[in-house]
Amino acid sequence: MKWVDVLVDGPFVQSQRDTSLRFRGSSNQRLIDVATTLATGNISLWHG
């Protein structure tokens, strides 16, 4: 995990598909900032 910057969390849901989203395919998916999450111990979302 130390080589991962951003992790896409959650399944792809066809009914929530959105091609305008960066790095993910559906709006139910989260982008997790892995370095911050590992450093703090709390899930930190990536905002780019």
**22 is a domain residue:** yes
pLDDT at 9: 97
Residue length of the chain = 48
**47 is a domain residue:** no
Residue-wise pLDDT tens digits, 32-41 = 999 999 999 9
**1 is a domain residue:** no
Residue-wise pLDDT tens digits, 4-29 = 999 999 999 999 999 999 999 999 99
pLDDT at 2: 80
How many domains, in total, are found in the chain? 1
**48 is a domain residue:** no
Range of the domain at 20: 6-40
Phi/psi of residue 44, nearest 5 degrees: -120, 125
The answer, yes or no, to whether residue 48 has pLDDT greater than 90, is no
